[in-house]
Amino acid sequence: LAKTTQPISMDSYEGQEVNITCSHNNIATNDYITWYQQFPSQGPRFIIQGYKTKVTNEVASLFIPADRKSSTLSLPRVSLSDTAVYYCLVGDRNPGFQKLVFGTGTRLLVSP
C-alpha cells in the first residue's frame, strides 16, 4: 500500500478556503485517493474519493495532478464545525474489500 504524507496540523479562520495536500509518491496504477474526516469521539466520515483530475461534491473538492503523486483536499469557506482530523488514504479499489490504512492525519483548527 502506498504511503501517504500530510501536514500534522493546520490553522485557519472562519470563511477561508483550506487546502490540505497529501503526498503519495508510490501510488500504484490501480490506487484511488480517499479522504476521511474525523471529529473527536466519533468514527471517520467519508468525504471524497478520486482517481485523477478534479472531483467535486457538496462538501469538498479533490485536485489530483497528472502524475498523481499528490492530491489536495479543498474545503471552501470553512466554519468552526470543520475543526477535525482529515485523513488521506491511498489504496487499490478491490471490489468488496479495501483494508483502509490510516496515517496520523492533519488536525485542522478553525478559529473565529
Partner 1 sequence: NAGVMQNPRHLVRRRGQEARLRCSPMKGHSHVYWYRQLPEEGLKFMVYLQKENIIDESGMPKERFSAEFPKEGPSILRIQQVVRGDSAAYFCASSPYLASGDTDTQYFGPGTRLTVL
Nearer to partner 1 (CB atom), residue 16 or residue 85: 85
Nearer to partner 1 (CB atom), residue 34 or residue 70: 34
Q: Does residue 50 contact residue 33 with C-beta atoms inside 8 Å? A: yes
- Residue 34 sits at the vertex; the CA angle it makes with 100 and 25, to the nearest 5 degrees, is 90
Map the footprint of partner 1 across residues 71-110, applying CB under 8 A. Answer: 87, 93-105
Q: Does residue 37 contact residue 86 with C-beta atoms inside 8 Å? A: yes
Tally of CB atoms within 10 A around 76: 12
Q: Does residue 67 contact residue 17 with C-beta atoms inside 8 Å? A: no
Nearer to partner 1 (CB atom), residue 14 or residue 104: 104
Which one among 23, 32, 59, 61 touches partner 1, defined by CB under 8 A? Answer: 32
**Rounded distance between C-alpha atoms, residue 19 and residue 28, angstroms:** 24
Asked whether position 29 contacts partner 1 by CB under 8 A, the answer is no
Q: How far is the CB of 104 from partner 1 (least distance, A)?
A: 5
Asked whether position 13 contacts partner 1 by CB under 8 A, the answer is no
Footprint of partner 1 (CB under 8 A): 32, 41-46, 49, 87, 93-105
